[in-house]
């Protein structure tokens, strides 16, 4: 959520967003097919989701598939899509029971109809939950999200529902896929790369970043907790001076 204000710092991160990187390298370094790394990565998703309540994390956002990931070999893309289906079918009931609210962000039209239906079904089933807000980015790219939001804002102006002078950060935010979600406090990337790959560019304007060497399939709840504790020691100023 856009506030542009200084918050009380230091604090516990309540929204953590993760770029789950390194599945392929994890598998290749063991002589395994890359998909084995993704499968192991899916197991980590469960572990990290379950770790959130104890860490007072109320929002977890995961980058599962980017708009660039379609360029991977078809077998890997198909395997990942199969993994998303399986995750929803296998974990869906547990997420419902544990009070997790699931949302998906990203362009859906490029996804198969059956996967889209599973995603919409889980969103509906969990709509009343609020123990943890789990947002999964599939076919997500930050530029693509901002482009789609801009088109919707332009359409509102064209239709006379909005004046161009009324376009504010709040208006843009309401048209993003993440409308209604708070901005991430901490963005974490695994596997040692120092880049953000188009993940939440609008929403991360005031986020802290953490880059860890561990590959996602080896990323445990303990490592997660250590990163969260490290965040709590930082002081966030949101452009203001220390008080
Ligand atoms: C990046 O590793 C990871 C992905 C592109 C896929 C992330 C997907 C999962 C963790 C599986 C399941 C997810 C959910 C939400 C059920 P990479 O393949 O880019 O690794 P590399 O950089 O080592 O090649």
Nearest residue CA, atom 7 of ligand 1? Answer: 64
Q: Where are the alpha helices (DSSP H) in the chain?
A: 23-28, 34-51, 74-97, 113-125, 142-158, 169-175, 221-232
What pLDDT does 12 receive?
87
Site to probe by mutation for ligand 1, drawn from 33, 34, 38, 63 as the one with most ligand atoms within 8 Å of Cβ, is 38
- Output the tens digit of pLDDT for each of the chain's 243 residues: 444 443 444 578 999 999 999 999 999 999 999 999 999 999 999 999 999 999 999 999 999 999 999 999 999 999 999 999 999 999 999 999 999 999 999 999 999 999 999 999 999 999 999 999 999 999 999 999 999 999 999 999 999 999 999 999 999 999 999 999 999 999 999 999 999 999 999 999 999 999 999 999 999 999 999 999 998 888 666 777 776
Joined tokens for residue 123: 């969103």
What pLDDT does 9 receive?
46
CA distances to 14, 139, 153, 177, 237 from 9, rounded to whole Å, are 13, 34, 34, 28, 7
Report the alpha-carbon distance of residue 210 to residue 142 in Å, rounded.
Answer: 19
Q: SS3 of 223, please?
A: helix
What pLDDT does 37 receive?
98
Q: SS3 of 20, please?
A: coil
CA of 131 to the centre of ligand 1 (A): 25
Site to probe by mutation for ligand 1, drawn from 46, 64, 194, 213 as the one with most ligand atoms within 8 Å of Cβ, is 64
Q: Which atom of ligand 1 is nearest to the CA of 66?
A: 5
Closest by Cα among 64, 121, 57 to 93 = 121
Report the alpha-carbon distance of residue 63 to residue 198 in Å, rounded.
Answer: 10
Give me the DSSP letters along 131-148: SEEEEEEEEE-HHHHHHH
Closest by Cα among 172, 198, 173, 175 to 187 = 198
Closest by Cα among 110, 106, 136 to 46 = 136
Residue 56 contacts residue 225 (beta carbons within 8 Å): no
């Amino acid at each position: 959520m856009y506030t542009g204000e200084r918050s009380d710092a230091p604090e516990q991160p309540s929204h953590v967003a993760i770029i789950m990187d390194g599945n392929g390298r994890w598998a290749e370094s063991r002589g395994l097919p890359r998909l084995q790394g993704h499968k192991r990565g899916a197991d980590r998703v469960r572990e990290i989701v379950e770790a959130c309540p104890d860490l007072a994390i109320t929002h977890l956002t995961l980058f599962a598939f980017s708009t660039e990931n379609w360029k991977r070999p078809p077998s890997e893309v198909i395997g990942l899509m199969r993994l998303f289906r399986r995750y929803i079918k296998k974990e869906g009931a547990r997420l419902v029971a544990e009070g997790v609210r699931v949302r998906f962000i990203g362009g859906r039209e490029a996804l198969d109809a059956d996967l889209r239906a599973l995603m919409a079904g889980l969103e509906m089933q969990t709509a009343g939950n609020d123990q943890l807000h789990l947002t999964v980015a599939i076919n997500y790219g930050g530029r693509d999200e901002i482009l789609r939001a801009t088109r919707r804002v332009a359409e509102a102006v064209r239709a006379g529902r909005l004046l161009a002078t009324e376009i504010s950060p709040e208006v843009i935010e309401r048209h993003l896929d993440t409308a209604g979600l708070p901005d991430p406090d901490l963005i974490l990337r695994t596997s040692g790369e120092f880049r953000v790959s188009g993940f939440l560019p609008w929403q991360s304007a005031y986020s802290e970043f953490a880059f860890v060497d561990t590959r996602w399939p080896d990323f445990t709840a303990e490592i997660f907790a250590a990163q969260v504790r490290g965040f709590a020691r930082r002081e966030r100023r949101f452009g203001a001076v220390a008080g």
